[in-house]
Amino acid sequence: MSTRTVGIIGAGAAGTSAVKTLHTSEADVEIDLLARSGERPYNRTLVNKGVALGLLEPDQAALSVTDTRTSTDTVRSVNPQTREVHLASGKTRAYDALVIATGSRPRTLDETIIGRDQAVSAGQLTTLHSIADAVRVRNLLAGTHPTRVLILGGGLVASETASLLIEAGHDVALIARSLVPGATAIGEHVARRLLDLSQPQHATYLGRQPRAIRTHADRITIILDDGTHVEGDLAIVAHGTLAAAPAPWTGPEGIPVDGHLRALHAPRQRIYAAGGVAVHHYPGHSSYRIDHWEDSSAKGTTQRGPCCMTSP
């Protein structure tokens, strides 16, 4: 049998895990790993835990992918019928099987919020999802100590980031749309317990949403829907993530998959999705997407088709 080529789109947890699994399998395959243009693969769990706090340099969060052809050329679209990918450079490549592991992108504040764009341009309003975000936050934290950080969001990542900043000596205010942040994801009982533990550590504005943002030379003011003005040196948006898939799956829904992680829109084309871009279905329940590093790593090892290269 001739050597088959597996294209892996995305060099995060699921993508690099798939590479390692294929390397240890007995399949006669050649692996082509496609990362985003100009981006070095990195461990996203270290964005807020290490780089943003100044505990690690960006290079220390990098992932090492050896014995694999890696191209930093963003995939713009996939042709499911031909298993061809179209790259940002204008090139096109074809594969015998594809694993789409492009992960997620952060939710941002609604564009109707007055002053949002000015705050982003000034660097005082940011997400904390990428290494670039982490470096931006690190530089701002280093400029003023202690820094007052406003965190917009109340989920697990927001709570974790708040705790890390407090441990580092900074002041934090948490602004959440829900009265019990995280209840839909982890259940109301656990969410309330987490809230009880975190509230004594920082100022908390629950059931509130930003209506306007004012950017000043040395601070940022967020005006809430009840008229409250909350001031800080920096604001971090932690409203969760959306799937980041190439066309034809560019909507926020992600790529629906079956139990073997095969793309449902192309079930016989040896196209698989794993990690934060994959949408799962559970009988009797709504669809769900898991954007978690360890889960993505696990899912990156479970694609059946690319390893054995048999017909679906």
Residue 139 C-alpha from the chain's centroid: 21
- Mean pLDDT score across all residues of the chain: 86
Pairing of strands 75-79, 84-87: antiparallel
Expressed as residue numbers, the domain containing 131 is 108-239
Q: Average pLDDT, stretch 44-58?
A: 91
| 148 and 197 housed in the same domain | yes
Q: Count of domains in the chain? A: 2
Strands 97-100 and 271-273, by their bridges, are parallel
Tens of pLDDT, residue by residue over 116-147, are: 999 999 999 999 999 999 999 999 888 767 78
Say what the pLDDT of residue 66 is.
65
Residue 152: what pLDDT?
Answer: 95
pLDDT over 60 at 310, yes or no? no
pLDDT digits (tens, 9 = 90+) for 181-202: 777 777 788 878 877 777 778 8
Q: Are residues 165 and 280 in the same domain?
A: no
Look up the CATH number of the domain holding residue 163: 3.50.50.60
Comparing CA positions, the residue from 38, 46, 40 lying closest to residue 11 is 40
91 and 34, same domain (yes or no): yes
**pTM listed for this prediction:** 0.84
Considering the domain architecture, whether residues 88 and 138 belong to the same structural domain is answered as no
Mean pLDDT, residues 280-286 taken together: 75
Residues 124 and 78 in one domain: no
The residue from 184, 207, 239 where one domain ends is: 239
101 and 248 in a single domain? The answer is: yes
Same domain assignment for residues 176 and 74: no
Same domain, 209 and 272: no
Domain end residue (candidates: 187, 219, 239): 239
199-245 pLDDT, tens digit per residue, is: 778 889 999 999 999 999 889 999 999 999 999 999 999 998 899 99
In this predicted structure, the answer to whether residue 294 has a pLDDT above a threshold of 70 is no
- The answer on pLDDT for 298 being more than 50 is no
